[in-house]
């Protein structure tokens, strides 16, 4: 509990400066409202009583650190080195705001520049912006970029295995812009084949969105899809997981035009679903279509290295009608967390995390597939996540395992009643072999 002292002399000085005689006069209007409709509040507490009340209240919380988590679907329980929290808690970062004055904001601008550089290295693409709200809005912004391109096409092709929340955000963004959204794959599919994308291609499409991995954890290279898209002049947008990019080919290597994703796995806690950050990278031809901000590196007249906002395409900087996006922003503090995480882990550390996720996921898939009545629905390469079919209701299994302090995964019946027996399970580097075996035995006990 913080305490900010103020002397009587300071109080009198402040009141004099603002032109009121005393505290009662300062709050006269507010107290008049209070008298008209008094608030139903308890009697005030002493500092000791208030602390005791807060402790009792906090004691009602469930401490999820005691649970073993296999939850995923876009938010993952990765290990966060303590250095991340230490750096972002420094006052010069924690309290800084938009770097409008570059001469006063070199530290913030430098950190954003480093973030952009690392995102470009991860995605294999030439330019990146300073981040956006989250993965879903990053994907929507990427689709808008292709619609705003010179092609003037107004159709976008999505896979049915896109995360449901992302599809809702895309509908909110794109439908008011008279964009036609078409889906490849059936709603009950666990994986969408390359043929299902290619069979729908036409010159009317501005972009095709490819999940890498998709909502169910499938990792597909999309070689034929990307080749066919290029032949039809269709922009390729890849929705990527940043940890997976440390192990598999980058979107740039595969031939994608734009890469977007959720940066939460990069040193950001699950935090009840946010706040997170979205990352965006693109080939250089899309440089002037990227929303938000881009920090650049330059030299002053004395030859000293410095950092500036090179492109500023949001409404705070230019006329609203000329801005590329009116709702994007850069998540500066969270982008800093991701930057510290990537710098601390380095390329070898990131790859090791990805390898552990991959190997442990496959170990658990094998364990669960051996259980009676359980079927692993993924048939190809998967990363960190997969879906199983149970001989019983997944929600009941989840409830039973929660009583054993295990978050078993996501009940897919939440999104589609026909999937009520399916469970989406995520495995990060934090899960030990003993915990994987514990989950398998706990599920076995529910069958």
| DSSP state letters, 304-315 | -EEEEEEEE-BT
**pLDDT tens by residue, the chain, 447 residues:** 566 778 889 999 999 999 999 888 888 877 666 566 667 888 888 889 999 999 999 888 877 678 899 999 999 999 999 999 999 998 888 777 667 677 778 888 999 999 999 999 999 999 999 999 999 999 999 999 998 776 778 899 999 999 999 999 999 989 888 899 999 999 889 999 999 999 999 989 999 999 999 999 999 989 999 999 999 999 999 999 999 999 999 999 999 999 999 999 999 999 888 899 999 999 999 998 898 889 999 998 899 999 988 887 665 566 666 666 766 677 889 999 999 999 999 999 999 999 999 999 999 999 999 999 999 999 999 999 999 999 999 999 999 999 999 999 999 999 999 999 999 999 999 999 999 999 999 999 998
Name the nearest CA neighbour of 281 among 115, 169, 37, 77.
115
Q: Are 279 and 312 contacting, i.e. CB atoms less than 8 angstroms apart? A: no
For the segment 81-128, what is each residue's pLDDT rounded down to a tens digit?
999 999 999 888 877 766 767 777 888 899 999 999 999 999 999 999
pLDDT at position 29, please? 79
Q: Are 333 and 90 contacting, i.e. CB atoms less than 8 angstroms apart? A: no
Write out the CATH class of domain 82-342: alpha beta
Using CA atoms, how far apart are residues 350 and 7, in angstroms rounded to an integer?
53
Residues 6+ apart with CB under 8 A from 178: 154
279 — phi, psi (to 5°)?
A: -110, 150
Residues 6+ apart with CB under 8 A from 180: 154, 155, 156, 204
Q: Which residues pair with 208 in a beta bridge?
A: 157, 236
**Maximal CA-CA distance, the chain:** 80
Domain 64-78+347-444, what fold?
A: 3.90.1150
pLDDT at position 38, please? 67
What's the DSSP call for residue 316? T
Using CA atoms, how far apart are residues 109 and 113, in angstroms rounded to an integer?
6
Using CA atoms, how far apart are residues 231 and 202, in angstroms rounded to an integer?
10
Q: Are 293 and 280 contacting, i.e. CB atoms less than 8 angstroms apart? A: no
Q: What is the CA radius of gyration of the chain?
A: 26
What 89-98 contacts at long range (C-beta under 8 Å, 24+ apart), as own/partner pairs, is 93/333, 93/336, 94/333, 96/332, 98/316, 98/332
Q: Which residues pair with 420 in a beta bridge?
A: none
SS3 content of the chain, % helix, strand, coil (to 5): 45, 15, 40
198 — phi, psi (to 5°)?
A: -60, -35
Residues 6+ apart with CB under 8 A from 396: 446
pLDDT at position 315, please? 57
Using CA atoms, how far apart are residues 341 and 84, in angstroms rounded to an integer?
6
Using CA atoms, how far apart are residues 114 and 134, in angstroms rounded to an integer?
19
Prediction pTM value = 0.85
Q: Is 293 helix (H, G, I), strand (E, B) or coil?
A: strand
Domain coordinates in residue numbering, the chain: 64-78+347-444, 82-342
Q: Which residues pair with 240 in a beta bridge?
A: 212, 261
């Amino acid at each position: 509990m913080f305490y900010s002292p103020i002397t009587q002399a300071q109080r009198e000085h402040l009141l004099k400066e603002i032109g009121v005689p005393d505290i009662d006069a300062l709050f006269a209007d507010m107290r008049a409202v209070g008298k008209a409709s008094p608030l139903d509040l308890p009697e005030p507490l002493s500092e000791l009583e208030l602390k005791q009340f807060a402790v009792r209240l906090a004691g009602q919380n469930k401490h999820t650190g005691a649970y073993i988590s296999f939850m995923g679907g876009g938010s993952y329980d990765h290990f966060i080195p303590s250095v991340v929290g230490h750096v972002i808690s420094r006052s010069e970062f924690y309290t800084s705001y938009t770097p409008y004055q570059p001469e006063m904001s070199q530290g913030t601008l430098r950190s954003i520049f480093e973030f952009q550089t690392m995102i470009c290295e991860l995605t294999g693409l030439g330019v990146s912006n300073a981040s956006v709200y989250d993965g879903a809005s990053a994907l929507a912004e990427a689709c808008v970029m292709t619609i705003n391109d010179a092609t003037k096409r107004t159709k976008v092709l999505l896979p049915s295995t896109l995360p449901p929340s992302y599809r809702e955000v895309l509908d909110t963004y794109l439908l008011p812009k008279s964009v036609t959204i078409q889906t490849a794959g059936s709603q009950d599919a666990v994986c969408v084949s390359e043929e299902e994308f290619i069979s729908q291609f036409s010159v009317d499409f501005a972009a095709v969105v490819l999940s890498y991995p998709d909502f169910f954890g499938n990792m597909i290279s999309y070689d034929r899809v990307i080749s066919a898209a290029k032949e039809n002049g269709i922009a390729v947008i890849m929705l990527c997981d940043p940890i997976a990019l440390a192990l598999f080919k980058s979107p740039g290597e595969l031939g994608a035009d734009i890469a977007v994703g959720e940066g939460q796995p990069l040193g950001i806690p699950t935090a009840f679903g946010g706040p997170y950050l979205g990352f965006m990278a693109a080939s250089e031809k899309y440089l002037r279509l990227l929303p938000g901000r881009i920090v650049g590196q330059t030299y002053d007249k004395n030859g000293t290295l410095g950092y500036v906002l090179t492109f500023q395409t949001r409404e705070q900087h230019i006329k609203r009608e000329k801005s590329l996006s009116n709702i994007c922003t850069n998540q500066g503090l969270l982008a800093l967390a991701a930057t510290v995480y990537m710098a601390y882990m380095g390329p070898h550390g990131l790859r090791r995390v990805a390898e552990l996720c991959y190997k442990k996921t496959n170990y658990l898939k094998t364990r669960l597939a051996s259980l009676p009545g359980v079927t692993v629905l993924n048939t190809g390469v998967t990363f960190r996540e997969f879906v199983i079919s149970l001989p019983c209701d997944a929600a009941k299994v989840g409830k039973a395992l929660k009583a054993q302090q295990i978050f078993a995964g996501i009940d897919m019946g939440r999104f589609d009643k026909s999937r009520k027996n399916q469970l989406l399970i995520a495995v990060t580097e934090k899960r030990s072999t003993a915990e994987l075996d514990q989950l398998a035995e706990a599920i076995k006990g529910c069958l």
